[in-house]
Structure formats: structure tokens, C-alpha cells
Amino acid sequence: MNTEQYISEVVLRAVTSLYGQVSPQQIQIQKTRKEFEGDYTIVTFPLLKLSRKSPEATATEIGEKIIAENSEFGGYNVIKGFLNLSLSAAFWSERFEEIKGTENYGHGEATGRTIMIEYSSPNTNKPLHLGHIRNNLLGYSVAQILKANGHNVIKANLVNDRGIHICKSMVAWLRYGNGATPESTGLKGDHLVGDYYVEFDKHYKAEIKELMAAGASEEEAKKKAPILLEAQEMLRKWEAKDEQVRSLWQTMNGWVYDGFDVTYKALGVDFDKVYYESQTYLLGKSIVSEGLEKGIFFRKEDGSVWIDLTADGLDQKLLLRGDGTSVYMTQDLGTALQRFEQNSLNGIIYVVGNEQNYHFQVLKLVLKKLGYDWSDDIYHLSYGMVELPEGKMKSREGTVVDADDLVADMISTAREMSAELGKLDGLTEEQTSKICTMVGLGALKYFILKVDPKKTMLFDPRESIDFNGNTGPFIQYTHARICSVLRKATEQGIDYGGAVKADFLPEEIEIVKTLCDYPATVATAGAQFAPSVIAAYTYELCKMFNGYYHDHSILREECQTTKIMRLQLAAQVARVISDSMLLLGISVPERM
């Protein structure tokens, strides 16, 4: 039962009975604020024209009517024009039985809608870094949340596998690599290729200095550095399908993909479809022709094609260069059209950093002007930068935090801090390794996902692994603690299955109420594409249960009926913790 919907129906019946026909829109219901007694609050002001009474008299009359005719309500109170209704312990006991009996509790019914979510989108000239981690974790979690809301979800990755930046790594490898491979160096393929991208930059800067020393201006030197000219020539050869260049490109990209796969597996993310820019960069040219024919786009004297968006508060946007080559906007127009048509999509979500806010604003607007109404179903899930305390976990280049290094560091820190707290005592090395991996990754994922994506965030590894406070390990430890209690109950031969009628304490009713909020929380997170909503809910549930567990014994409770009810309550809390954490891509241990 949807509690708020039930309350709405009860109030609607009572108001209709008292005052005649009323619009459902006039019934305003909200959760009672914590400082007041009650579960749900009815705002009476929209009903005063019907009642022709004061707010207090109207609220009292409606409250009396509801209590007289509905046994599920335990009482009411009136604060000015607000009617606070309290539901009975029996009502919450029934809701608890419903929770226990509901498969996939919290998940919505199938909607028949198909949503594509594109995330990761790396370049094949360097390893994944901290920014990619936030991108991947956001994309994967939103996909999980949308699935829980009943949608069909396609997780997509568009790999930027072509362009001048890729050629830079290739030129440096040819010049300085001496045939190095991942096997001969012992390096992951993405790290090996990334090292040559850095190598290119080092030699490029040195050549600029030489040219400037010989009398060239800085601007001229940047354009005429031999290593850059070599990379530009290689790109031309690639576009002309030169066999040698294409062969080297495939080999080096293959090294990178193997490296990426290891990182993706470590992060616990995956994809249903992988697109490659080398196969999509020519898409969109037909859309440009269509826009020219319709007079939506215009051509400049140099042959380039533009759209004028100044009337929409933006500027003029390039869609095709004078030499006929595509820009990113051309490609994104083409891939959007291709994806909507090929996959019968009801929406597409792009997980891309906030530096691209303007790009996606233009993309939607151009598609709208071309008459593609599905442009309204494009959403840019924009996120801010992730920063670290200065000096922590810098990569070999000294500028970027490498994803593999960060994951390894998180697992190592989890082991160190868990050992300090004695949480690994008595465990085998295999169990220790498994738990430290789970805790390290859980800390990383939760710390990143609990923050609103739009915000720039500071990531502190040690703070994220604190076993107290709003952290992944705190939630994981709560789950493990409950599992320990349930294990002991089973070892003692206690059967805590089946229905049970026990009197709930007020604290137990509060836990049931919070469990009842889970479906609405999942729905809200899905509507807002916000993993942070799930994180906040789970933290509050864990805090509430830990406070309850501190004050009330479960296994030492003398009343057998109460003991079984408490075990069932603990089991449902653990179930919801586990499910909500899976929506964030986080595993929870049973021992810790």
C-alpha cells in the first residue's frame, strides 16, 4: 500500500462527506515535521471556502470525522490551520507484514520505457583518472536506479578512439618506444600508451623552445614543431585509411581497451553497448544538409555551416568546417538521431562534466529546431570536478590522479584502518582481502555518490573510510552487525520466519515508517537522476537502527514474540540496506 495515497483517499472521502464535492488538488498532504506529533499533516487553507469555518474549526471537524470512521488512525492534533494525523501501531504492523511479503521491495513496476545512459567516454591516449571515476560511478548508479524504477536501461559508452590526441601517443611510441609492449614492460596497456602521450608533450615543449631560440615567435613555434607536424600528417594518413597507420592505431588502442577493462572490472561498472568515435564521426552530415535545406542553418563564404542562436540568448554555432570535416556537435547530432531510431528510445542521459553544459544546451536546441520532438527527452547529467587534498595520491605525471592508483590506495587504506580497529581479527587472508576490497571500494563509491553531482567535491580517502559518520564503511558495518545477530539467532535454533503479532515500541514504529519510505525514495532518486537521495536515506536508516540497537537487546529479549519481531525488523533493515547499496554499485559484507 502507498501510505500517502491511502491518506489522500481517506481525507478526500471525509472532506467530500462534510462539505460536498472537492477537487483532489485541494487536498494538500505532507509528512508531519519532526518537531510536531503526528505522521501526516493536512493543510486546511484550500478547504476554507467549502467549510466556511476557521482553519482550526475546519481541521478539528475533519480530524474527528477521520478518527470516527477509520480505525487505522490513532489520533490527531490541530496546530493553527494544520491537521496532524497519527496512524495506529496496528496500521504500521500491517505495513511491516506487507514489506516482508513484497518481492523486490522498493522497486517499481515495469514501465515499458527504454532509457539509454551514456557514461565513461574515455580517450584512448591515457588511463582513466579521478574525473572518470566520478563519471563512471554516477552513470552506473543512475542506470541501477532507473532499472529499479521499472525502465529498460541501455548502458552505453562512446570511446573517443580517433583524432590528433591519439596520433600524438602513436608518434611518440614510434619515435621513442623501441617496440615496447605491455608484455615487455609489465605495464597495463592504457598506462603504457598514456606514458607516450606525456612523452610527446615533453618533446613538443622542447622543440618549441629550440625554434624560439632560433628566432621563431612562440605562436609560430607551436605550429611548426616537427613532432606536431608529424602527428598532423599521421592523422591525415589515418583518415586516408593508410594501412600502416591503421594497423598501429588498432594495436595501441587494443592495449588501451585491455587496460580499461581491468579498471572497469575493479570499479564494478559495465556497458551494454560500446560505440567508437571512429565509426560515428561521419554521422550528422545528413542532418547538416537537412538543416541547410530547411533554412535553419546557413553557409559562410569559406563553405562552413553554422546555426544562429543569438535570438535564443546563445551565439552562432559551427556545425561543419569549411573543408567539410565534422565538429563534435555534428557527430552528437548524428549519434543522437541514430540511437533514438535504432533503439526506440524514450530518453537518453549523457553523463558529462559541467564544462559541457553549453554544448548540450545547443544540442537540444538544434534538434528541436530541426523538428525532432524527442530532443525534450535528452538530459545532460552534469557533474563538477573532484579535487583532493594537496599532495595526496598524485600520479607519476604530478597532475592527474590515476584511477588504478586510487583504487589500490583505497583498498590499502581500508586494510590499514580496519586492522587498527581490530575488524580483521580472526579472518583468513582470503577473507581479509575480500572485505578490504569491499570496504575500500564502498568508501570510494559512497563518498562520491552521496554528494549532489552538480557540486565540485573534495575527496579525502581517509575520511571516506571512517567507520563512524556518513560513510560507506559505516553502512557496511551496520549491515554486517545485523547479519551477525541473525547468524547467532540461527545458531541458537530460533526460527524468526512467518507472521508475528507483537507490540511495537515507538522506536520500532519509526524504523517501520522509514522502511515504508524506501519505495518513494527510489522513485524520487529515479525522477531526479540522483544517487545522493539513496545515500542520504540509507545513512538515516542505519543511524536510526544503530541507535535502536544500542538501547534495546534483540537476542537477550525475554519475550519470545518480541524477540522474533525484532529479528524480523533487523532482517528487513539489512535487506533494504543491501538493496539500496546495490543501487549505488556497492556490495555489503555479511562479516566485518
Q: What is the tens place of the pLDDT at every residue in 242-293?
A: 999 999 999 999 999 999 999 999 999 999 999 999 988 888 888 999 999 9
- In angstroms and rounded to an integer, the radius of gyration of the C-alpha atoms of the chain is 30
Rounded to an integer, what distance in angstroms lies between the CA atom of residue 270 and that of residue 272? 7
The answer to whether 537 touches 518, Cβ cutoff 8 Å, is: yes
| pLDDT higher than 50, residue 5 | yes
Please, what is the Cα angle at 485 between 482 and 486, to 5 degrees?
A: 90
CA distance 208 to 218: 7
Q: What is the pLDDT of residue 422?
A: 86
How far CA 475 is from CA of 144, 431, 536, 583, in Å, comes to: 19, 19, 11, 14
The angle, 0 to 180 degrees and rounded to 10, between the axes of the packed helices 506-516 and 560-583 is 30
pLDDT of 391 over the 80 cut: no
The predicted structure's pLDDT at residue 22: 87
Q: What is the pLDDT of residue 399?
A: 59
Specify whether the CB–CB gap between 442 and 555 falls below 8 A.
no
Does 523 score more than 60 pLDDT?
A: yes
CB 236 within 8 A of CB 164: no
DSSP 356: G
The grid coordinates listed for 568 are: 524480523
pLDDT band at 397 (very low <50, low <70, confident <90, very high): very low
pLDDT band at 150 (very low <50, low <70, confident <90, very high): very high
Mean pLDDT in residue range 403-423: 90
Domain with CATH 1.10.730.10 in the chain: 403-583
For residues 514-536, average pLDDT? 97
Is residue 24 over pLDDT 50? yes
**Could you tell me which residues come within 8 angstroms of residue 224 by beta carbon, excluding any fewer than 6 positions away?**
211, 216
Amino acid letter for position 161 = D
Domain(s) labelled CATH 3.30.1360.70 in the chain stretch across: 3-87
| pLDDT value of position 390 | 63
Do the bridges between strand 378-383 and strand 347-353 make them parallel or antiparallel, or are there none, so unpaired? parallel
Which spans in 496-559 are helix H?
506-516, 518-528, 531-551
- The predicted model gives 28-53 an average pLDDT of 93
- Alpha-carbon distance of 589 to 591, in angstroms, equals 5
Over residues 329-362, the pLDDT tens digits come to 999 999 999 999 999 999 999 999 999 999 999 9
- Count the alpha carbons within 13 Å of 207 in the hemisphere toward its beta carbon: 17
CATH topology (fold) of 119-384:
Rossmann fold (3.40.50)
What is the reported pLDDT for 1?
67
User: Which of 23, 138, 115, 105 is closest to 453 using CA atoms?
Assistant: 138
Q: How far apart (Å, rounded) are the C-alpha atoms in residues 525 and 536?
A: 11
Q: Poorest-confidence range of 163-167, 287-291, 416-420, 521-525?
A: 416-420
Spell out where 451-558 has E strands. 457-458
pLDDT band, residue 21 (cuts 50/70/90): confident
| Band (42; pLDDT cuts 50, 70, 90) | very high
Residue pair 169/200 in contact by the 8 Å Cβ criterion: yes
Buried b (16+ CB within 10 A) or exposed e, 147-158: bbbebbbbbbbb
Look at the domain 3-87 and name its fold.
Gyrase A; domain 2 (3.30.1360)
Assign 393 a pLDDT band (cuts: 50, 70, 90).
very low
% of the chain with per-residue pLDDT over 70? 98
According to CATH, where is 3.40.50.620 located in the chain?
Answer: 119-384
392 pLDDT band (50/70/90 cuts)? Answer: very low
Determine what percent of the chain is predicted with pLDDT higher than 90.
Answer: 83
CATH superfamily of 403-583: Isoleucyl-tRNA Synthetase; Domain 1 (1.10.730.10)
- What mean pLDDT comes out for the span 11-33? 91
Sheet containing 82-87: which strands, arranged edge to edge? Answer: 28-31, 40-43, 82-87, 73-79
In this prediction, residue 396 has a pLDDT band, given cuts at 50, 70 and 90, of: very low
Contact 60, 78 (CB under 8 A): yes
Q: How far is CA 385 from CA 129, 131, 382, in A?
A: 12, 7, 10
Give the SS3 label for residue 26.
helix
